[in-house]
Amino acid sequence: MKYDDVKDSISQVLISHEELDSKLDELAAQISQDYADVDNLLCIGVLKGAAYTLVSVTRRMSISTPVDFMSLSSYGSGMESSHTITVRSDLTTDVAGKNVLILEDIVDSGYTLNWLIAELKRRGAASVKVMALLSKPERREYEVPIDYLGFTIPNEFVVGFGMDYNDHYRNLDFIGVLDPKVYAN
Ligand code: 5GP
Ligand code: MG
Ligand code: MG
Three-class DSSP labels, the chain: CCHHHHCCCEEEEEECHHHHHHHHHHHHHHHHHHCCCCCCEEEEEEECCCHHHHHHHHCCCCCCCCEEEEEEECCCCCCCCCCCCEEEECCCCCCCCCEEEEEEEEECCCHHHHHHHHHHHHCCCCEEEEEEEEECHHHCCCCCCCCEEEEECCCCCEEECCECECCECCCCCCEEEECHHHCCC
Structural domains in the chain, CATH included, are: 17-153 (3.40.50.2020)
**Ligand 1 within 6 A of 81 CB?**
yes
**Ligand 1 atom 9, closest CA:** 106
For strands 175-178 and 158-159, give the pairing: antiparallel
| pLDDT band, residue 81 (cuts 50/70/90) | low
Q: What is the pLDDT of residues 39-56, one digit of tens each?
A: 999 999 999 999 999 999
**Interface ipTM:** 0.96
Examine the pLDDT at 84 and tell me if it is beyond 60.
yes
Q: What is the pLDDT of residues 11-26, one digit of tens each?
A: 999 999 999 999 999 9
For residues 158 and 169, give the distance between their C-alpha atoms in angstroms, rounded to a whole number. 10
Q: How far is the CA of 81 from the centre of ligand 1 (A)?
A: 7
Q: How far is the CA of 135 from the centre of ligand 1 (A)?
A: 9
Examine the pLDDT at 79 and tell me if it is beyond 90.
no
Examine the pLDDT at 82 and tell me if it is beyond 80.
no
Mean pLDDT value across residues 158-179: 97
**Ligand 1 within 6 A of 111 CB?**
yes
**Ligand 1 within 6 A of 133 CB?**
no
Q: Which of 111, 155, 114 is nearest to 134 (CA)?
A: 155
Q: What is the number of alpha carbons within 13 Å of residue 163 lying toward its C-beta?
A: 23
Mean pLDDT value across residues 94-100: 98
For strands 41-47 and 10-15, give the pairing: unpaired
41-47: strand order across its sheet: 86-89, 67-73, 41-47, 99-107, 127-135, 148-152
Q: What is the pLDDT of residues 102-145, one digit of tens each?
A: 999 999 999 999 999 999 999 999 999 999 999 999 999 999 99
Q: How far is the CA of 67 from the centre of ligand 2 (A)?
A: 16
* Mean residue pLDDT across the chain: 95
Is 108 among the residues known to form the active site? yes
* Residue-level pLDDT at 75: 65
* Residue-level pLDDT at 184: 86
**Ligand 1 atom 16, closest CA:** 108
Helices 51-58 and 17-34 cross at an angle (nearest 10°) of 60
Catalytic residue of the set 108, 167, 173, 179? 108
